Chain A
Amino acid sequence: MKHLLATAALICAAQPALANRVFVTNERSNDITVLDGESFEVIGTYPAGNRPRGITISPDGTELYVCASDDDLVRVFDPQTMEELHTLPSGPDPELFVLHPSGNPLFIANEDDNIVTVVDTKTHQMLAEIPVGVEPEGMGVSPDGSVVINTSETTNMAHFIDTETYKITANVLVDSRPRFAQYTADGSKLYVTSEIGGTVSVIDPSTQQITKKITFDINGVLPEAIQPVGARVTSDGSKLFVALGPANRVAVIDAATDEVTDYLLVGQRVWQLAFSPDEKYLYTTNGNSNDVSIIDVAANEVVRSVPVGQQPWGVVVAPD
């Protein structure tokens, strides 16, 4: 009987219903828009608490985590039904978080309080509070799960946090208002975007040294409008995509040389990015035009834009 149930569960999990669903947080309309990753149609819109921003999903696709910034907690949803399952303590004003590759724990940046909160996703208990710089925001994790990166927007550092001891092991000074930290899949490089500095720092995680700064130059766009925020790199390490905020473009970067190869025009104030599980598509949240742009990764082309809620902020795609 037990065996049968387990089989049944496996069959359920294997159904394509959830796979490739796209979840978008809408900061102003306080909801989540769910898109079908095949047809790009809107499946539905669901309440998400107050000021939903950061969003991520468990590796097994069973729990969807949302930073409800103005509720001072993380809401956890069933991605299938969009029912709220429970909440997690997060500390005040959670903005972005990163899940350990194993699915536990969750590392949350608390922007108002200069701390990173560590929460156990199984027991729902707070494990630690780690003091970091002023206005912690970006959160990244090394592929092996041993290091979490937090960026602090006013201190302008990437803090390296040991995930065993919860202690800071290194601080790397980067350009103004660092927003996002993204490792390559092989762990050899760490990219940190700087919104006001207008650059992406390429950091060697083994030495914690900046090896290169990627800069951007777009014809007809004022340099001040180029504000790097979200960043994603393909798992083969070949292409880095960087959202450039009010420049309304996503930069395509050859991740082997870290040189910009293209700029793709998307919606207004492009903020965060997420790949489909097969990395065929990249989804962008466009906060001022209230839509999502869909980029064909191989072709470097924007293929669709889909209206969502008010001020879309974060995006995640369910795993296969």
Chain B
Amino acid sequence: MFKGIMGLLAGAMALAQPVHGQSPEPVVIRAAVLRVDDPGLPPISRLELPPDDLGFAGAQLATDDNDTTGRFMGQDFQTVTVAATPDTAADSMRDLLDQDIRFIVVMADDDVTLALADQVGDRAMVINAMARGDNLRGADCRMNTIHVAPSRAMLADALTQFLMWKNWPRWMLIHGSHPQDQAMAEAYRRSAAKFGADIVEEREFEDTGGARRTDSGHVQVQAQMPVFTQRAEDHDIVITADEADVFAVYLPYLTWDPRPVAGSAGLVSRSWHPAMEAWGATQFQNRFEALANRRMREADYQAWLSLRIIGEAATRTNSGDPDTLRDFILSPEFDVAGFKGQALTVRDWDHQVRQPILLTTGDLTTSVSPQEQYLHQTSQLDTLGVDRAETECRLGDPS
């Protein structure tokens, strides 16, 4: 009896081999993840310290998922992961292009992402899994790039829709002094105008350096934050634009007026959150945690989705040809499931992946936008971000 069971198990295990009846030699589909690490300061909270495998663990899960399906399709997915600095990113990209890898997931800031996309040209497809810049989907959009990371405009609109539903339209906007903070502040201004919120007061928190994360840091902060926020116009909520992570997480419970905080702290718009359980996400979180021995971050989700897009295209077209996959991904027939309750598709005017945005606190998903009141003639997801009529992207124009 025992032998019989072992025999059955062995027979079942044989199916796990990459070689399958449909195709003696599996078709190899190669991709790379190039992560460009910012050598800046550590985050304010040590809970946010980036793990070494940030993004790469999500890429590993996607490759495993793609390979599991690939067993039935005669497809073998191979993923190269490279960590670089802004100084070495171009060399790393050249190495990947020299290996003739045709799908490159880039995890970098706005400027580096744009420079790498231009370096790639028509030699590969770039999948932006990190940079949020609205310019990358607008005036600086590139035909060779799709954006899995949500844009700043999408993140701002997701929050604004919720705040309008909550009837908290009067905002005190506090932004940092770094370019990315200014860009996020601009996204909130645009979003407020779009949905009818009112920015009653705007302040800049200048990054002057300072003694954060020293043992007396909280004493300074406790004194500074109430003073910084006093004598503001009457407002319902404090919106923070602090991508540089200088001040926002200090603000909850330290504002002069007792007001909630959102934006870069408090209620935060994200592509993913490790407490998400809806739409089958529990199983997805479990699989990631078993693989990585940590919780899934936005960067991991975005890397996972980037590679799943390639895998889904390979399954649906039954092809490993990079041109076939790219054309299918950019076609109206393409969609992919991403544990967000609806199919995710690619906007044809700027190559942004449409997706619901989670509104999260530290422990939970508080809401998911788009809010149901905001309707749209084509896709409700297009109430988030820059719509076709407003885009400055001219992908179709010969340049």
Contact = CB atoms under 8 A, between A and B. Distances in A.
Interface of A: 93, 111-112, 114, 125-131, 133-135, 152-157, 159, 165-168, 171, 173, 176-177, 196-198, 222, 224, 227, 246
Most chain A CB atoms below 10 A, which of B286, B287, B337: B337
The 4 closest A-B pairs by CB, nearest first: A224-B342, A155-B69, A128-B8, A176-B337
Contact of A133 (B68, B336, B337): B68
Given A133-B72, A177-B280, A166 B13 contact: no
A110 to B, nearest CB: 10
A288 to B, nearest CB: 11
A172 to B, nearest CB: 10
Interface string B277-316: 0001001101100100000000000000000100000011
Interface in B1-45: 5, 8-9, 11-13, 15-16
B372 to A, nearest CB: 8
Contacts of A198: 343
**Is chain B's binding surface mostly helix, strand, loop or mixed?**
helix
Nearest to A167: B11
Contact of A134 (B65, B341, B342): B65
Contacts of B337: 153-154, 156, 176-177, 196
B290 A112 contact: yes
B283 A112 contact: yes
A126 B286 contact: no
A177 B342 CA distance: 10
Contacts of A129: 9, 12
A131 B72 CA distance: 11
Most chain A CB atoms below 10 A, which of B65, B316, B342: B342
Contacts of A222: 372, 380
Most chain B CB atoms below 10 A, which of A125, A131, A197: A131
B286 A153 contact: no
A131 B16 contact: yes
A125 B8 CA distance: 13
Most chain A CB atoms below 10 A, which of B5, B8, B380: B8
A171 B315 CA distance: 12
A135 B202 CA distance: 48
A144 B394 CA distance: 59
Nearest to A118: B8
Contacts of A176: 335-337, 343
Contacts of B380: 222, 224
